[in-house]
Amino acid sequence: MNYHNVSFEAAYGLHQQIPLSRLPEVAFSGRSNVGKSSLINRLLGRKALARVSSEPGKTITINFYNLDNQLHLVDLPGYGFAKVGLSEKQRWSGLIEGYLKDEKRFLGMVVQLVDIRHPPTNQDIEMIRFLSEMEIPFIIVLTKADKLNKSERTARLASIRQELPDVGEDTVILPFSSKDGEGVEQLREIMDQLVSFCAEHPELLPTQPEEAAEQPQTAEDEEVTVEYIGFDE
């Protein structure tokens, strides 16, 4: 895939308003301030495609990015930090859970982000347990790897599987640094393999309504309309 051929496609505030999958999807999940936007930007070779906020927890929508018209990258709202009211937290929870439980999605994999510097939070563990119970394929990406020295890094890598009881020996655990690019090529390789598998199994893609199938695809050189859905001004 051409990782530089990417565009923001749409943002949704309610999972009921997300249309059927028309491409395989890779979702990115993690607590607020784990470095999710920075990871997405580094993965795609962009500086500000995914906005990096100085206020953790500011992303309150599910954001879709079209990667080379072969894959949708899905940026899930961060959890565990934002200072918002109970009703808003419930909406966020319903948004994330509704997306992950939606059988109409062509969800190939979840990239679960965990800060390598610290033990996983209870919410990290709960999310990974949820993915395991739902039998959703996932990998663990350990962000901010550049912030540890060699001995600290060795110690954290030795501890992480014991700290994540629902992670098996065959689960990929990948150190990542948005600063120096560590892990970028490995993550791209995993995503390329997923796209190749999905291309060999088109029957996995949900059946599109007839009217949706007739809509023309956006040309590579056309401006993509940014669409915000599901929340009031």
- pTM confidence score: 0.84
Give the chain's largest Cα–Cα span. Answer: 58
User: What is the DSSP secondary structure assignment for residue 61, as one 8-state letter?
Assistant: S
Question: Distance of CA 143 to CAs 30, 69, 88, Å?
Answer: 10, 27, 27
Q: Where are the domains of the chain?
A: 6-229
List the structure tokens of 220: 């590579």
Q: Does domain 6-229 have CATH number 3.40.50.300?
A: yes
In the block, which residue shows the tokens 């200072």?
Answer: 83
* Per-residue pLDDT of the chain in tens (233 residues, 90 and over written 9): 999 999 999 999 888 889 999 999 999 999 988 999 999 999 999 877 875 544 544 557 899 999 999 999 999 988 875 565 656 666 667 788 899 999 889 999 999 999 999 999 999 999 999 999 999 999 999 999 999 999 999 999 999 999 998 898 899 999 999 999 999 999 999 999 999 999 998 888 877 665 544 443 433 433 333 333 333 32
Which conformational region is residue 58 in: left (phi greater than 0), alpha (psi within -120 to 50 degrees), or beta? alpha
- CA distance linking residue 8 with residue 35, whole number of Å: 18
Task: Give me the residues paired with residue 174 across strands.
Answer: 141
